[in-house]
Amino acid sequence: MSFLPSSPLITETRVFVSPERLGNPVRIVMAASAAAVNAAVPGARHQWPFALCLAWLRDDAGRHRIAVTCEQAGQPIQICGHGLLAVAQLAFGISQRPLELVSGTYCFQVLPPDPGGSTVWLQTERPAWQSVADSGEAAWFSPQPEHVAVITSGPEDGYRLIVLPPGVPLDSIRVDLTAIARYDRRALLLTQRATGAEQLRCDYRLRYFAPQYGNPEDAATGSAHWLAAAWWSEQLHRAELRSEQCPPTGDGWQPGPRPGGVIHTRTSDRCVALSGELSPFCRL
Protein backbone atom coordinates (compact mmCIF):
# COMPACT_ATOMS: atom_id res chain seq x y z
CA MET A 1 0.00 0.00 0.00
CA SER A 2 1.38 3.42 -0.97
CA PHE A 3 2.32 5.94 1.72
CA LEU A 4 1.56 8.76 -0.71
CA PRO A 5 -2.04 9.98 -1.06
CA SER A 6 -4.17 8.53 -3.84
CA SER A 7 -5.68 11.95 -4.52
CA PRO A 8 -3.24 14.70 -5.52
CA LEU A 9 -1.78 16.79 -2.73
CA ILE A 10 -1.06 20.32 -3.98
CA THR A 11 0.98 22.57 -1.73
CA GLU A 12 3.37 25.54 -1.79
CA THR A 13 6.40 26.57 0.21
CA ARG A 14 9.51 28.75 0.07
CA VAL A 15 12.88 27.04 0.29
CA PHE A 16 16.17 28.33 1.78
CA VAL A 17 14.45 31.05 3.80
CA SER A 18 16.16 32.91 6.63
CA PRO A 19 15.49 36.04 8.67
CA GLU A 20 17.43 37.96 5.99
CA ARG A 21 16.37 36.08 2.83
CA LEU A 22 13.00 35.29 1.22
CA GLY A 23 14.00 31.95 -0.30
CA ASN A 24 12.63 30.50 -3.54
CA PRO A 25 8.95 29.55 -4.01
CA VAL A 26 7.83 26.17 -5.33
CA ARG A 27 4.50 24.43 -5.86
CA ILE A 28 4.30 20.64 -5.49
CA VAL A 29 1.79 18.15 -6.89
CA MET A 30 2.25 14.78 -5.14
CA ALA A 31 0.23 11.55 -5.39
CA ALA A 32 0.69 7.80 -5.42
CA SER A 33 0.41 7.51 -9.21
CA ALA A 34 1.63 9.48 -12.19
CA ALA A 35 -1.89 9.43 -13.62
CA ALA A 36 -3.30 11.19 -10.56
CA VAL A 37 -0.53 13.79 -10.67
CA ASN A 38 -0.94 14.49 -14.38
CA ALA A 39 -4.69 14.99 -13.97
CA ALA A 40 -4.00 17.81 -11.51
CA VAL A 41 -1.26 19.54 -13.52
CA PRO A 42 -3.41 21.98 -15.59
CA GLY A 43 -4.95 23.47 -12.46
CA ALA A 44 -1.62 23.57 -10.62
CA ARG A 45 0.06 25.41 -13.51
CA HIS A 46 -2.63 28.10 -13.68
CA GLN A 47 -1.18 31.55 -12.92
CA TRP A 48 1.91 30.04 -11.24
CA PRO A 49 5.14 31.58 -12.65
CA PHE A 50 7.56 29.78 -10.34
CA ALA A 51 8.91 26.21 -10.15
CA LEU A 52 6.35 23.40 -10.27
CA CYS A 53 7.41 19.91 -9.13
CA LEU A 54 5.42 16.76 -9.88
CA ALA A 55 6.08 13.73 -7.65
CA TRP A 56 4.70 10.19 -7.61
CA LEU A 57 5.71 6.78 -6.30
CA ARG A 58 7.83 4.49 -8.47
CA ASP A 59 7.54 0.71 -8.26
CA ASP A 60 11.20 -0.31 -8.02
CA ALA A 61 11.23 -3.79 -6.49
CA GLY A 62 10.06 -2.65 -3.08
CA ARG A 63 12.38 0.37 -2.83
CA HIS A 64 10.75 3.58 -1.65
CA ARG A 65 11.56 5.75 -4.63
CA ILE A 66 9.72 8.87 -5.75
CA ALA A 67 9.91 10.10 -9.32
CA VAL A 68 10.11 13.89 -9.67
CA THR A 69 9.88 16.16 -12.70
CA CYS A 70 10.17 19.93 -12.43
CA GLU A 71 9.27 22.81 -14.72
CA GLN A 72 8.87 26.57 -14.74
CA ALA A 73 6.54 28.46 -17.06
CA GLY A 74 5.98 25.20 -18.94
CA GLN A 75 9.70 24.63 -19.56
CA PRO A 76 11.43 21.59 -18.01
CA ILE A 77 14.11 22.15 -15.36
CA GLN A 78 16.99 19.69 -15.54
CA ILE A 79 17.69 19.72 -11.78
CA CYS A 80 15.53 21.89 -9.50
CA GLY A 81 17.41 21.74 -6.21
CA HIS A 82 15.02 23.81 -4.12
CA GLY A 83 12.04 21.93 -5.54
CA LEU A 84 13.64 18.54 -4.87
CA LEU A 85 14.39 19.52 -1.27
CA ALA A 86 10.76 20.60 -0.80
CA VAL A 87 9.51 17.28 -2.24
CA ALA A 88 11.92 15.39 0.04
CA GLN A 89 10.74 17.30 3.11
CA LEU A 90 7.06 16.75 2.29
CA ALA A 91 7.47 13.04 1.47
CA PHE A 92 9.60 12.33 4.55
CA GLY A 93 7.02 14.05 6.73
CA ILE A 94 4.36 11.71 5.35
CA SER A 95 6.37 8.48 5.34
CA GLN A 96 8.92 8.87 8.18
CA ARG A 97 11.14 6.36 6.36
CA PRO A 98 14.29 6.40 4.21
CA LEU A 99 13.54 7.57 0.68
CA GLU A 100 15.15 8.14 -2.69
CA LEU A 101 14.16 10.72 -5.28
CA VAL A 102 14.76 10.09 -8.97
CA SER A 103 14.77 13.07 -11.33
CA GLY A 104 15.85 12.34 -14.89
CA THR A 105 19.16 10.50 -14.69
CA TYR A 106 19.91 11.75 -11.17
CA CYS A 107 19.26 9.94 -7.90
CA PHE A 108 19.09 11.60 -4.47
CA GLN A 109 19.02 10.08 -0.99
CA VAL A 110 16.74 11.71 1.56
CA LEU A 111 18.50 11.81 4.93
CA PRO A 112 16.61 12.56 8.17
CA PRO A 113 16.96 15.91 9.93
CA ASP A 114 19.78 16.41 12.40
CA PRO A 115 18.90 15.94 16.08
CA GLY A 116 16.97 19.03 17.05
CA GLY A 117 16.57 20.04 13.40
CA SER A 118 13.47 20.09 11.25
CA THR A 119 14.66 19.84 7.63
CA VAL A 120 15.88 16.75 5.80
CA TRP A 121 19.13 16.56 3.87
CA LEU A 122 19.22 15.75 0.16
CA GLN A 123 22.37 13.89 -0.85
CA THR A 124 23.78 13.02 -4.26
CA GLU A 125 27.11 12.10 -5.84
CA ARG A 126 29.84 14.68 -5.62
CA PRO A 127 30.14 16.38 -9.03
CA ALA A 128 33.33 16.33 -11.04
CA TRP A 129 34.77 19.57 -12.40
CA GLN A 130 37.74 20.91 -14.27
CA SER A 131 39.57 24.23 -14.21
CA VAL A 132 39.69 25.95 -17.60
CA ALA A 133 41.44 29.01 -18.95
CA ASP A 134 39.67 32.36 -18.79
CA SER A 135 38.53 32.81 -22.39
CA GLY A 136 37.06 36.27 -22.01
CA GLU A 137 34.23 35.58 -19.55
CA ALA A 138 35.25 38.63 -17.51
CA ALA A 139 34.01 40.81 -20.37
CA TRP A 140 30.46 39.71 -19.50
CA PHE A 141 30.60 41.69 -16.24
CA SER A 142 30.71 45.33 -15.24
CA PRO A 143 32.98 46.26 -13.58
CA GLN A 144 35.30 43.72 -15.17
CA PRO A 145 37.13 41.68 -12.52
CA GLU A 146 40.75 40.57 -12.89
CA HIS A 147 42.26 37.16 -12.16
CA VAL A 148 39.05 35.14 -12.09
CA ALA A 149 39.12 31.35 -11.74
CA VAL A 150 36.87 29.45 -14.16
CA ILE A 151 35.54 25.95 -13.44
CA THR A 152 33.18 23.89 -15.60
CA SER A 153 31.14 20.86 -14.63
CA GLY A 154 28.85 18.46 -16.44
CA PRO A 155 27.97 18.37 -20.15
CA GLU A 156 27.86 21.37 -22.48
CA ASP A 157 24.61 22.50 -20.85
CA GLY A 158 26.05 22.08 -17.33
CA TYR A 159 27.60 24.78 -15.14
CA ARG A 160 30.30 27.44 -15.47
CA LEU A 161 31.54 28.55 -12.04
CA ILE A 162 33.48 31.81 -11.98
CA VAL A 163 35.28 32.66 -8.75
CA LEU A 164 35.64 36.38 -8.17
CA PRO A 165 38.53 37.84 -6.19
CA PRO A 166 37.90 39.76 -2.95
CA GLY A 167 36.83 43.35 -3.37
CA VAL A 168 34.61 42.78 -6.40
CA PRO A 169 31.05 43.90 -5.49
CA LEU A 170 29.20 40.62 -6.06
CA ASP A 171 25.83 42.08 -5.00
CA SER A 172 25.90 44.90 -7.51
CA ILE A 173 28.01 43.54 -10.38
CA ARG A 174 26.15 43.85 -13.68
CA VAL A 175 26.00 40.88 -16.03
CA ASP A 176 25.54 40.96 -19.82
CA LEU A 177 22.71 38.43 -20.05
CA THR A 178 22.53 38.78 -23.85
CA ALA A 179 26.15 37.72 -24.22
CA ILE A 180 25.68 34.73 -21.91
CA ALA A 181 22.58 33.59 -23.79
CA ARG A 182 24.32 34.00 -27.13
CA TYR A 183 27.73 32.45 -26.45
CA ASP A 184 27.31 29.90 -23.67
CA ARG A 185 25.02 26.91 -23.07
CA ARG A 186 26.14 26.58 -19.47
CA ALA A 187 24.35 28.19 -16.55
CA LEU A 188 26.65 30.80 -15.01
CA LEU A 189 27.54 30.81 -11.32
CA LEU A 190 29.38 33.78 -9.83
CA THR A 191 30.86 33.03 -6.43
CA GLN A 192 33.10 34.70 -3.88
CA ARG A 193 34.50 33.85 -0.47
CA ALA A 194 32.74 35.68 2.36
CA THR A 195 34.81 38.39 4.04
CA GLY A 196 34.37 40.77 6.95
CA ALA A 197 30.86 40.92 8.39
CA GLU A 198 29.64 38.47 5.71
CA GLN A 199 31.46 35.68 7.56
CA LEU A 200 28.94 35.96 10.39
CA ARG A 201 26.26 34.76 7.94
CA CYS A 202 28.03 32.45 5.49
CA ASP A 203 31.28 30.97 4.19
CA TYR A 204 30.80 31.87 0.52
CA ARG A 205 28.29 33.80 -1.59
CA LEU A 206 26.81 33.09 -5.00
CA ARG A 207 24.67 34.43 -7.84
CA TYR A 208 23.10 32.27 -10.59
CA PHE A 209 22.23 33.18 -14.19
CA ALA A 210 20.61 31.06 -16.91
CA PRO A 211 19.09 33.43 -19.51
CA GLN A 212 19.47 30.72 -22.17
CA TYR A 213 16.76 28.76 -20.35
CA GLY A 214 14.38 31.60 -19.48
CA ASN A 215 15.83 32.31 -16.03
CA PRO A 216 17.81 35.59 -16.08
CA GLU A 217 18.74 35.31 -12.39
CA ASP A 218 17.48 32.83 -9.83
CA ALA A 219 16.85 33.75 -6.21
CA ALA A 220 18.06 30.56 -4.47
CA THR A 221 19.36 27.67 -6.57
CA GLY A 222 19.94 24.41 -4.74
CA SER A 223 21.50 22.54 -7.67
CA ALA A 224 24.22 25.18 -8.09
CA HIS A 225 25.46 24.57 -4.57
CA TRP A 226 26.16 20.88 -5.09
CA LEU A 227 29.00 22.09 -7.34
CA ALA A 228 29.92 25.30 -5.52
CA ALA A 229 30.01 23.64 -2.10
CA ALA A 230 32.19 20.78 -3.35
CA TRP A 231 34.66 23.28 -4.82
CA TRP A 232 34.68 25.61 -1.80
CA SER A 233 35.02 22.65 0.57
CA GLU A 234 38.38 21.87 -1.01
CA GLN A 235 39.51 25.49 -0.92
CA LEU A 236 38.45 26.12 2.69
CA HIS A 237 39.31 22.61 3.98
CA ARG A 238 35.91 22.27 5.61
CA ALA A 239 33.17 19.68 5.11
CA GLU A 240 30.24 21.75 6.39
CA LEU A 241 29.54 25.12 4.80
CA ARG A 242 26.83 27.73 4.80
CA SER A 243 26.30 29.83 1.69
CA GLU A 244 24.24 32.87 0.81
CA GLN A 245 22.70 33.52 -2.59
CA CYS A 246 22.46 37.27 -3.06
CA PRO A 247 20.61 38.67 -6.10
CA PRO A 248 20.55 42.48 -6.11
CA THR A 249 17.53 44.33 -4.74
CA GLY A 250 17.96 47.87 -6.04
CA ASP A 251 17.93 51.13 -4.11
CA GLY A 252 14.18 51.16 -3.43
CA TRP A 253 14.05 47.94 -1.41
CA GLN A 254 12.38 48.38 1.96
CA PRO A 255 13.92 47.07 5.21
CA GLY A 256 13.24 43.39 5.86
CA PRO A 257 14.05 40.06 4.18
CA ARG A 258 15.51 40.39 0.69
CA PRO A 259 15.50 38.06 -2.32
CA GLY A 260 17.93 35.20 -2.07
CA GLY A 261 18.49 32.24 0.20
CA VAL A 262 20.75 30.52 2.74
CA ILE A 263 21.93 27.00 1.87
CA HIS A 264 23.64 24.46 4.14
CA THR A 265 25.93 21.77 2.67
CA ARG A 266 28.02 18.81 3.77
CA THR A 267 30.71 17.42 1.51
CA SER A 268 32.52 14.09 1.68
CA ASP A 269 34.88 12.35 -0.72
CA ARG A 270 31.94 10.85 -2.62
CA CYS A 271 28.81 12.88 -1.85
CA VAL A 272 27.39 16.33 -1.25
CA ALA A 273 24.31 16.82 0.94
CA LEU A 274 22.19 19.96 0.88
CA SER A 275 19.62 21.42 3.28
CA GLY A 276 18.02 24.70 4.34
CA GLU A 277 14.98 26.12 6.06
CA LEU A 278 11.50 25.98 4.48
CA SER A 279 8.46 28.11 5.18
CA PRO A 280 5.38 26.16 6.38
CA PHE A 281 3.65 24.22 3.61
CA CYS A 282 0.47 25.88 2.42
CA ARG A 283 -2.03 23.33 1.10
CA LEU A 284 -4.17 24.46 -1.84
| Whether the Cβ atoms of residue 145 and residue 165 lie closer than 8 Å to each other | yes
Q: Which residues contact 123 (CB under 8 A, 6 or more apart)?
A: 108, 109, 110, 111, 271, 272, 273, 274
The pLDDT of residue 182 is 86
Residues constituting the chain: 284
Q: Name every residue whose Cβ is closer than 8 Å to that of residue 283 and which is 6 or more positions away in sequence.
A: 9, 10, 11
The whole-model pTM stands at: 0.94
Of residues 51, 59, 56, the one with CA closest to residue 38: 56
Q: List average pLDDT for each run of 10 residues in the chain, which is 284 residues long.
A: 86 96 97 95 90 90 86 88 97 92 95 95 96 82 82 89 89 89 89 94 95 90 95 97 89 77 97 97 95
What is the rounded CA–CA span in Å between residue 9 and residue 216? 30
pLDDT of residue 142: 82
Q: For residues 119 and 146, give the distance between their C-alpha atoms in angstroms, rounded to a whole number.
A: 39
Residue 72 phi, psi dihedral angles, 5° rounding: -145, 125
> What number of other Cβ atoms are within 10 A of residue 226's Cβ?
28
What structural domains and CATH numbers belong to the chain? 9-124+275-283 (3.10.310.10), 130-249+257-267 (3.10.310.10)
pLDDT of residue 238: 97
